[in-house]
Amino acid sequence: MRKRISLGERAFELHCRLEKITLPEQEYRFHKTRKWRFDFAWPDLKIAVEVEGGTYSQGRHTRGKGFEADCEKYNTATESGWLVFRYSTQQVSQYIAIRQLKRVLEKYHVDD
């Protein structure tokens, strides 16, 4: 079952399209046994993007148990060779996320 797409995720996808960046896979399951997913991923490059909602409203990602679960997920991903970028919805809206990802992807010559 696919989760509901957040405004930040919609904006990030739109920014990828506007910048003509190869579209990442959405809701990419990166772990064989856990149900962990990345909001966006370029699996061949092992680059992932997470858009964290609720940063100012005490959302799941900022409360104890949710924060600890995220730490486990991101640390396991890093241990497995993933480069994980985490952005707030505000950072996506302000084009901070797409500017940084564009620079990173250019290093890999993704859109040559």
CATH code at 91?
3.40.960.10
Distance between CA atoms of residues 62 and 85, nearest Å: 16
Displacement of CA 28 from its chain's centroid (Å) = 10
What is the pLDDT at residue 2? 55
* Number of Cβ within a 10 Å radius of residue 68: 10
pLDDT in tens, 53-112: 755 555 555 556 878 999 999 999 999 999 999 999 999 999 999 999 999 999 987 655
Mean pLDDT across 14-26: 96
What residue numbers bound the domain in which 14 lies?
7-104
Q: What is the DSSP letter of 62?
A: G
Q: How many domains does the chain have?
A: 1
**Is 1 a domain residue?**
no
Displacement of CA 16 from its chain's centroid (Å) = 12
What is the pLDDT at residue 45? 96
**Is 98 a domain residue?**
yes
Q: pLDDT at residue 49 above 90?
A: yes
Given phi > 0 = left and psi -120 to 50 = alpha, else beta, which region is 46?
A: left
Q: pLDDT at residue 28 above 90?
A: yes
Mean pLDDT across 47-58: 78
